[in-house]
Amino acid sequence: MVIRGRRWRATDPALPDAVAARLRSHLMAARRAVGAALRAGDAAAERAARDRVHTAKVALGERGAPPWWEQDEAARRRRWEDGLDRLDQDAP
């Protein structure tokens, strides 16, 4: 997708709605945790929260290599399942 001349990755359209909703929930919780860690001056908590943001964005297909449009269906499914597994385990 292109916004104001800059290219941005979109969420993988093959994600089932329920999976995409869970991943967005993890992403928003991780972003809130980044803010809380910054306000508290807790570098370790900030790093952990930023790692969770990255994991969620990779699982959504918004980051990582190869991009979702170059992956077959099995690789795309593995990407979001692995991401959800990690996020579910790491959730505070």
pLDDT for the residue 6: 65
The pLDDT confidence band at residue 3, using thresholds 50, 70 and 90, is: low
Whether the pLDDT of residue 78 is over 90: the answer is yes
Domain ranges (residues) in the chain: 16-90
Mean pLDDT, the chain, whole residue set: 92
Residue 3 or 76, more confident: 76
Encode pLDDT of 34-58 as tens digits.
999 999 999 999 999 999 999 999 9
Could you write out the DSSP letters of every residue in 38-74?
A: HHHT-HHHHHHHHHHHHHHHHHHTSSSSS-GGGS-HH
Whether the Cβ atoms of residue 80 and residue 19 lie closer than 8 Å to each other: yes
Which positions ≥6 away from 48 have C-beta within 8 Å?
33, 37, 90
Tell me the pTM: 0.89
Could you give the percent of the chain with pLDDT greater than 70? 93
